[in-house]
A and B are shown apart, each in its own frame.
Chain A
Amino acid sequence: MAGCGGDLSALDPAGPFAESIARLWWAMLLGAIPLFALVVGLFLLTVLRPGFGRRLSAKGWIVAGGLALPLPVLTALLGYALFQGEYRLGRPGSEALRVEARARMGQWSFAYPDTPGAPVTVGVLHLPAGRLVEITVTSEDVIHSFWVPRLGGKIDAIPGHETRLRLLAEAPGTFGGVCAEYCGVSHTDMRFTVRAHEAGRYAAELAKAETGAE
């Protein structure tokens, strides 16, 4: 869709998790437009055309618009969203490849416990394309938030806690990542890059990856 692209656009998904959330967004937007038009339209009609809607009793207005309209919509939406949330969270200890992300002011670093001999990379996260990755996130100082919009939602990096996020990049490529939680004056520059490699070449690429900051 035009106007929705970009290295950090949640509307330009590159994996199933971001894809499912983008789908949820478009569905909600399509639902919201008629609801908005209905309420504002009714306001204008009642004010500009006196007598409009008088056949429906005042109580009828409240029951129809206040209960009958929102309750089914909200029930369906909530059920769908919770179902989708379960899908994204998955079960712990599945077949996912483990990666550890550590945040500190101005910098992200990544370790790869499932890939023997891999260096700790700073500012670049290497992933195999087409494989589920479970990232364990924590912080050394203040609260940060790990976010790769094109792959999926964000998760906070909290000192003293470990949080989990599952990501999957469908195809090889490069994606932008940012810190989403305000973390001091270096917040703006606390960016990182995600490189998704072809699964077969992942170990080799990772082994020759540079450790230092970009």
Chain B
Amino acid sequence: MSGRPASRPVFLPILAAFTIWAVGFLALYGLQATGCRLGWQDAELLPGVTHLRLALCLLLAGLAAAVVAVVLRLRRLPAGFARTVGLAVSLAAAASTLFSFSGVFWLSLC
């Protein structure tokens, strides 16, 4: 009754990947701040690799995998507006995920 099914095929492909980026952004920022608050940057797992850095890297890997999954799923859509625009936006989101978050590998955490 809500009329939503008709719209789903257009907007979901366009919005999905960048929504993952946006949620991931908040999650990484929140995880970093929480980790600093609770002292996870002081415990080293390996020399130079703290618990916090490992957690951030794992989260980033998860995000990247999710965005790539969206891209792969979109490639199976029939040709058309939603696929073209969706793929362009999703590739932008994939690039943005790498570009915006790769600081977690090497920058000072707290």
Q: Does A75 contact B (CB under 8 A)?
A: yes
Contact digits for A63-93, partner B, Cβ 8 Å, 1 yes 0 no: 0000000000001001000100110010100
When the two chains form their complex, are residues A82 and B107 in contact, meaning their CB atoms are under 8 A apart? Answer: yes
CA distance A86 to B109 in the complex (A): 11
Give chain B interface residues in 4-19, CB to chain A under 8 Å. none
CA distance A91 to B110 in the complex (A): 10
When the two chains form their complex, are residues B107 and A86 in contact, meaning their CB atoms are under 8 A apart? Answer: yes
Contact digits for B2-45, partner A, Cβ 8 Å, 1 yes 0 no: 00000000000000000000000000000000000000000000
Interface size of B in residues (CB-CB distance below 8 Å): 4
When the two chains form their complex, are residues A89 and B108 in contact, meaning their CB atoms are under 8 A apart? Answer: yes
When the two chains form their complex, are residues A86 and B108 in contact, meaning their CB atoms are under 8 A apart? Answer: yes
CA distance A85 to B103 in the complex (A): 12
Q: Does B81 contact A (CB under 8 A)?
A: no
Nearest chain B residue, comparing its CB with the CB of A90: B108
CA distance A78 to B99 in the complex (A): 10
Q: CB-CB < 8 A to A91: which residues of B? A: 108
A interface residues, Cβ below 8 angstroms from B: 75, 78, 82, 85-86, 89, 91
B interface residues, Cβ below 8 angstroms from A: 99, 103, 107-108
Known: A78-B99, A82-B107, A85-B107. 6 other contacts (CB 8 A): A75-B99, A82-B103, A86-B107, A86-B108, A89-B108, A91-B108
What are 9 contact pairs spanning A and B, CB under 8 A? A75-B99, A78-B99, A82-B103, A82-B107, A85-B107, A86-B107, A86-B108, A89-B108, A91-B108
